[in-house]
Amino acid sequence: MSSPSAEASSSSRTRQPNRFSAKGKNVVMTSHGRLPWYSPEGKNIEAYVIGIAGGSASGKTSVARAILSALNYVPTVLILSQDSFYRKHTQEEIDLAFKSDLDLDHPDSIDTALFAKCLADLKQGRACEIPVYSFVHHQRMPETKYLYGANVIIVEGIMALQSADMRALYDLKVFVNCDSDLMLARRIKRDVKERGRDVDGILDQYLRFVKASYDNFVQPSSKHADIIVPGSSNQLAIDLLVSHIKDQLDNRSLRFRSRLGRDGQSRPLANGKTQVTPSNNTTHTFGDTDEDSGVILLEQTAQLQGIMTILRDCETERGDFIFYADRLSTMIVEKALSLLPHEPHRVQTPVGMSTEGTISMQEDLVGVSILRSGGPFSHGLRRVVRDVPLGAMLIQSDPKTGEPILLSLDLPQSVKNGETSKTVRALLLDSQMGTGAAAMMAIRVLLDHGVPESNIIFLAFLISRRGLTTIRRAFPSVQVVTAAIDPDLYEMHLPLGNAVLGEAAGEGDYSITVVEHDTLGLQRLNLKGDGGDSGFEAGSSLEGYRIDNQNPNQVIDSDRPDSGSGSGFGERRDAGQETWSPTKQQVEELKFSRDRKDSMKEVKQKRAWVVSPGMGHIGDRYYLA
């Protein structure tokens, strides 16, 4: 163990840059978005919780931050400090604290009940508002801090192992054991620098309260620890701790979008895609099963069918697509609003007559779009309910695994607030539901914030039968309003992004031939070299893929047996018919693709689930020219 003086001189010589803010001890580290934190049945899987106790300045926060850094591959790791849970003090207590006369080291100085409740909420995946405490003012501040979405929670504090209620919530209990002189020396330095204290006050407080508390409460709580970590020269101990935590987390990892998609019958298609349909699906009509009971399918009028035909048609121009998508979203929103409670309302008409009508209860209504596809819906919603608070969730698929990832969250204030969320009625907006994985994630987020399941209405232009089954099983009280239920779902491996993939040629003359148009407007290209000094010989060829910018949502599957004209897949095109000389930009893209070939080896394709007959990628068709 290093002596205080050795540590003091070494720390002043080699000051390490701190990755995390010194202000406030509650640190949230997020990276890479958040993978599902619940089972395929939609039930939350608990966060992994580590409790770290030890004397004041023993190094608890430093150990917690070292673990947090080492877990940088985990989406959200949170350090929850006991400091936030000091009780609210009266003015008299604050005056005593400034005279170092208030005992802030007794277990009763902590609001353990609130601490345990917040931790239990976060562990269960629920959002939580925690208090903010100021060491400079010795007081709880008026503001609170919103926390949500931790996969790993590290709790640290002198009393972290003291209460049985808290201990019951830990998966791993750690005690940081440090020499008392070293702790005192560190505390003096830290409290002068960071907590606005003077040395006399620090020593008075230490001799009156801190030392006694350590001997009577803190040190004895070490008997509950699973692991004792030294308070200095502890890198090896931290490494062992981290490796243990990583093993525990690996055992909990989830992979389930593929399971959602594959639950039904699947059959490989000639073109390498996989068709998935639920086992009971082939002759299914709406209303056949219990799962349809919570689903409101818009009345299939000729007018609606006309709109759907235009939207499904891959030849529809973007301007028309936007117009009819906006129209459809308005119709679906109107239908959803009819599900809200209404109450009688008497009015005077301009001709002086009194008449009885109804008024829709919309005060607690919010709209939350699942981006990007849910974006078009917000126009429809705003048109019908002008001032409705809107939020958004960005949920994308992991290109390698196809798993949904929550990338960002912007919820209306009434949802974030645990008090008001209980009465919120939420319209969850997405243009289509495929496997149901993104819908499930979005519903889970609302439930985690306290919105009742029966107050959630999911709105979509179309949903797949498979997705509907998934959502109805997981969340039977969520209502679904849609214009169509499509029978099929395909798993596809699509080239990633806009860049052309495949090994590209060097400089020189060559032409590109479209070999195949694929769903979502992808083209399989064949490059033919015309010779010259490029080294790309005449007659040699290579293949790649790119998005057809002229027609980004061409929905054509030439390998599909029933994909002729009128099949809902659009017109069949013969392969190899289009040939053109590439533009300068296309040549650059190809070169870029070649240069990145090595780095793209691992993630060349993304997995995607495509609803059929569907409308293609509705977000792309709406937003991209």
Ligand X SMILES: Nc1ncnc2c1ncn2[C@@H]1O[C@H](COP(=O)(O)OP(=O)(O)O)[C@@H](O)[C@H]1O
Binding residues (CB under 6 A) for ligand LLZGTKA7: these are 56-57, 83, 86, 97, 104-105, 135, 138, 158, 205, 210
Site residues for ligand X, window 190-219 (CB under 6 A)? Answer: 190
Piece in contact with ligand X (CB under 6 A), picked from 59-67, 84-92, 304-312, 581-589: 59-67
Piece in contact with ligand X (CB under 6 A), picked from 58-66, 446-454, 488-496, 597-605: 58-66
Work out whether 51 is an interface residue with ligand X (CB under 6 A): no
Cα dist from 581 to 198, 552, 576, whole Å: 77, 20, 14
Cα dist from 86 to 107, 108, 233, 468, 487, whole Å: 10, 9, 30, 47, 57
| Residue listed under structure tokens 């780095």 | 599
Piece in contact with ligand X (CB under 6 A), picked from 52-60, 211-219, 375-383, 526-534: 52-60
Phi, psi of 254 (to 5 degrees): -120, 140
| Least distance in angstroms from the C-beta of 378 to ligand LLZGTKA7 | 45
Q: Which does 281 bind (CB under 5 to 8 A by kind): ligand LLZGTKA7, ligand X, none?
A: none
**Using CA atoms, how far apart are residues 448 and 457, in angstroms rounded to an integer?**
16
Kindly give, in sequence order, each residue whose CB lies less than 8 Å from that of residue 300, ignoring residues fewer than 6 positions away: none
Site residues for ligand X, window 1-20 (CB under 6 A)? Answer: 7, 11
| Least distance in angstroms from the C-beta of 467 to ligand LLZGTKA7 | 49
Q: Which does 7 bind (CB under 5 to 8 A by kind): ligand LLZGTKA7, ligand X, none?
A: ligand X
**Using CA atoms, how far apart are residues 524 and 588, in angstroms rounded to an integer?**
18
Q: Which does 59 bind (CB under 5 to 8 A by kind): ligand X, ligand LLZGTKA7, none?
A: ligand X
Cα dist from 487 to 35, 210, 409, 562, 564, whole Å: 27, 68, 31, 14, 18
Cα dist from 241 to 222, 244, 281, 527, whole Å: 16, 5, 50, 54
Q: Which does 232 bind (CB under 5 to 8 A by kind): ligand LLZGTKA7, ligand X, none?
A: ligand X
Report whether 429 contacts 439 (CB < 8 A): no
Q: Which does 469 bind (CB under 5 to 8 A by kind): ligand X, ligand LLZGTKA7, none?
A: none
**Of 185 and 322, which CB lies nearer to ligand X in the complex structure?**
185
| Least distance in angstroms from the C-beta of 187 to ligand LLZGTKA7 | 6
Work out whether 84 is an interface residue with ligand X (CB under 6 A): no
Work out whether 432 is an interface residue with ligand X (CB under 6 A): no
**Using CA atoms, how far apart are residues 466 and 322, in angstroms rounded to an integer?**
27
In the structure encoding, which two tokens stand for residue 549, read together? 């910018």
| Least distance in angstroms from the C-beta of 186 to ligand X | 4
| Least distance in angstroms from the C-beta of 55 to ligand LLZGTKA7 | 8
Amino acid at 612: S
**Of 8 and 407, which CB lies nearer to ligand LLZGTKA7 in the complex structure?**
8
Q: Is the dihedral of CA 310, 314, 319, 323 positive or negative?
A: positive
Strand order through the sheet with 510-517: 541-547, 522-529, 510-517, 579-580
Piece in contact with ligand X (CB under 6 A), picked from 57-65, 419-427, 447-455, 457-465: 57-65
**Of 135 and 623, which CB lies nearer to ligand X in the complex structure?**
135
For the purposes of burial, counting CB atoms within 10 Å of the CB of 302, is it exposed (0-12), middle (13-18) or buried (19 or more)? exposed
For the purposes of burial, counting CB atoms within 10 Å of the CB of 182, is it exposed (0-12), middle (13-18) or buried (19 or more)? buried
| Least distance in angstroms from the C-beta of 158 to ligand LLZGTKA7 | 5
Instruction: Please count the residues of this chain forming the interface with ligand X, following the rule CB under 6 A.
Output: 14
The residue sitting closest to ligand LLZGTKA7, measured at its beta carbon, is: 56
Kindly state the greatest CA–CA separation across the chain: 92
| Least distance in angstroms from the C-beta of 157 to ligand LLZGTKA7 | 6
In the structure encoding, which two tokens stand for residue 289, read together? 């099963």
Q: Which does 104 bind (CB under 5 to 8 A by kind): ligand X, ligand LLZGTKA7, none?
A: ligand LLZGTKA7
Work out whether 232 is an interface residue with ligand X (CB under 6 A): yes
Q: Which of 49, 50, 58, 173 binds ligand X (CB under 6 A)?
A: 58
| Least distance in angstroms from the C-beta of 16 to ligand X | 9
Phi, psi of 620 (to 5 degrees): -65, -45
Q: Which of 138, 186, 273, 517 binds ligand X (CB under 6 A)?
A: 186
Helix 4-13 with 180-194: angle, nearest 10 deg: 40
Work out whether 62 is an interface residue with ligand X (CB under 6 A): yes
**Of 24 and 506, which CB lies nearer to ligand X in the complex structure?**
24
Work out whether 162 is an interface residue with ligand X (CB under 6 A): no
Q: Which does 234 bind (CB under 5 to 8 A by kind): ligand LLZGTKA7, ligand X, none?
A: ligand X
Asked, as a colleague might, if the bond just before 187 is cis with ω within 30 of 0, I would say no
Taking 3-state DSSP, the helix, strand and coil percentages for the chain, each rounded to the nearest 5, stand at 35, 25, 40
In the structure encoding, which two tokens stand for residue 252, read together? 């909990």
Q: Which does 186 bind (CB under 5 to 8 A by kind): ligand LLZGTKA7, ligand X, none?
A: ligand X
Q: Whole-angstrom distance between the N-terminal and C-terminal Cα of the chain?
A: 65
**Of 87 and 145, which CB lies nearer to ligand LLZGTKA7 in the complex structure?**
87
Provide the total of helices (H) and of strands (E) in the chain, helices listed first: 19, 26
**Of 214 and 545, which CB lies nearer to ligand LLZGTKA7 in the complex structure?**
214
**Using CA atoms, how far apart are residues 242 and 239, in angstroms rounded to an integer?**
5
**Of 210 and 456, which CB lies nearer to ligand LLZGTKA7 in the complex structure?**
210
**Using CA atoms, how far apart are residues 466 and 263, in angstroms rounded to an integer?**
9
Q: Which of 40, 42, 59, 376 binds ligand X (CB under 6 A)?
A: 59
Which residues sit at the interface with ligand X, rule CB under 6 A? 7, 11, 54, 56-62, 186, 190, 232, 234
